[in-house]
Amino acid sequence: MLRPASKYGIAGAVTALLALTGCGSSSDGTGGTGGTGGGGPTTAAPATTQAAAKDKGPLCVGKAAADGLHVLRGGGFRLPEGGGVQYDSATADGTTRTATLREGASYADGQKQQNVRAGQRITFSGHAYTVSQICSYRVVLEPRDAKDKTALAAAPKSLESKGGEADSGLCFSTNSSVLAAAAKGFPARGSTLSLLRNGGVKTFPTGLSITVSYIDAKTGTAGVGANCAAIPVAVYRDVRVGDTVEFAGVLFKVSGLAEDVVRLTRTSA
């Protein structure tokens, strides 16, 4: 993530995912080990079939704040008063976990970045937060200013997606009605969402779109990304069966990988 020109760089993710229309937000994640592989997003298959390094865990460190905003791995979150934050990469050594965050909702040259740990106080785009939780698949930031909490929880005028930046109130929100509407758009808990590779885009009612960028059957890994309000909100690279991913506040386990499909089983309510 610190090398935007690399084959897994955020710049590549932005270019590939802007063709979609997609969202991101709340839900606590617990239990398990593993993760979504190494840092930074990808939108293309690896040049070789060398086995991808498995995340050493733990899956999560810290406890997700109930009113926290969720920044998904490889993606960004647009803040209500401008600016944003991206979850660029992560490290895990089997005992603890840290994350690297970038300033801005989507990648651009020269953006400020910070390495953070759970419990740390940080400032991004002029907004103060506590890093309440770091997971392989998300970072949860708790706004320290009451005005920021209120702005993030504001109800949109409509729960109907209009496409593009007009969906910011649906894609970047902690509002309970928005999160409920997003969750309702997915299969029920315990059911499976099947995603086809090579442009098989799944679009959901609150503006989220999810696509599979590659599947490498030899290494048993795949790349899955999401876009919302013209922002790449998640780019999970090198996911394996058993890994956790999150979209629009809903948690899934990767339950199957085949040559042309990734299957995600919903694990949260």
How far, in Å, CA of 88 to CA of 242, rounded?
22
- pTM (2 d.p.): 0.82
Q: 194 Cβ partners below 8 Å, 6+ apart?
A: 261, 262, 263, 264
Q: What is the pLDDT of residue 200?
A: 74
Tell me: pLDDT of 4 over 60. Answer: no
Among 22, 19, 10, CA closest to 229: 22
pLDDT over 90 (residue 132): yes
Q: Omega before 58 cis (within 30°)?
A: yes
> What tens digit of pLDDT does each residue of 96-126 get?
999 999 999 999 999 999 999 999 999 988 8
Q: Count Cα neighbours of 84 within 13 Å in the Cβ-side half-sphere.
A: 23
∠ CA 149-151-156, nearest 5°, is 130
Checking if the pLDDT of 51 tops 50, the result is yes
pLDDT in tens, 157-184: 999 999 999 999 999 999 999 999 999 9
8 pLDDT higher than 60: no
Give the pLDDT confidence score for residue 33 in this predicted structure. Answer: 36
